[in-house]
Amino acid sequence: MAATVQKIPAEERLFSLVLALLATDGGLTKGEILSTVQGYRQRHKIGGDNATLERQFERDKDDLRELGIPLETIASPGDPGNNQNLRYLIPRGSYELPADIRFTPEETTLLGLAALVWREGSLSADARRALLKLRSLGIAATEPVLGYAPRLSLRDAAFTPLNAALEKHVLVGFEYLKPGESAARARLVAPLALFQHQGRWHLFAEEPDSKLTKTFLLRRIVSAVTITSTTFPAPPPGQGERAIAELDAVWNANLATVEVEAGSDAAARLLTRRGSILTASGALDLHYADANILADELAGFGPEVVVISPPALRDAVIARLKRASADHG
């Protein structure tokens, strides 16, 4: 009988990844990460097919960068073109607080008390075993990783009730506002999976009448989630992976071309996006799953970005800039 793989929460996996990349001065290869870090090693197959796990790692890298964590890659001097030999690390100088930040004695006391709590609970037995395993591979791991706390993004308000309904296999109701619509619509769905894509939480669910599956962005749920007493059969395993695969297909199919100002914040951030391509003309090709989310992001860079195509995305960014200008004079 096949052993049951322990399910590790996404936050714990990301935190463990940050700890591992902070604890090593020379960085870790993808293989070392997948075989040793909590959340990956449980599903890692020695000598087997780890394609799904590698895709998970690629998404996690994007999530860390979305959180503002400076994840860097180092090419192997002896084999610069081999992505399997890339080493990943988080430079401590970039992750630590700036030197000009100062705290009052009272603030320092409170931070010290918080650090004591983290020392007791942040580094679990699994994390300690992972550090020991890194050392057994001959990788130098520095011990004082306890002073680092994760910078976690807040979950959407809908997450907790949706997760509770997911565990109980009951229908939920909520008001959902789609982009371009003036009023929210009531939805009644059977939750199948909660998952992150590009750093944002989504609900994969089935409509009980049509049996159609749909993906909902949690930030567009504009009402409290109502948990009903109507149950539905437990879905087969792999619903989250199925939802991510469908959203990845949309992401791969959508391509935007933008011009960015050299040396700007926009250039630094957009160049590190997953799948971004610098063209011969100096423009950037960006994949995206949701045009409205990308329009929000690009509009935030102001004059540092100009959208070349598609026209609908260009119009959406211009509309946001005009609205911002009107709101602020």
pLDDT tens for 285-302 read 999 999 999 999 999 999
Is the pLDDT at 181 greater than 90? The verdict is no
Pick the CATH number of 159-244 from 3.40.50, 3.20.20, 1.20.120, 2.30.30: 2.30.30
Domain locations in the chain? 10-136, 159-244, 254-328
Kindly tell me if the per-residue pLDDT of 83 is higher than 80: no
Q: How confident is the model at residue 100 (pLDDT cuts 50, 70, 90)?
A: low
Is the pLDDT higher at 105 or at 284? 284
Please give the pLDDT value at position 38.
85
Q: Residues 81, 83, 89, 94: is their CA dihedral positive or negative? A: positive
Lowest mean pLDDT, pick from 106-110, 129-133, 193-197, 232-236: 129-133
DSSP 8-state symbol, 275: T
CA–CA–CA angle 298, 302, 307 (5° rounding): 50
- The three-point CA angle 156-158-160 to 5° equals 95
CA 178 to chain centre: 22
CA gap 206, 192 in Å, rounded: 7
Compare 96 and 126 and report the one with higher pLDDT.
Answer: 96
Confidence of residue 259 (pLDDT cuts 50, 70, 90): very high
- Shortest CA distance to 155 belongs to which of 215, 199, 185? 199
Question: What value does the CA radius of gyration of the chain take, rounded to a whole number of Å?
Answer: 22
How many other CB atoms sit within 10 Å of the CB of residue 290? Answer: 20
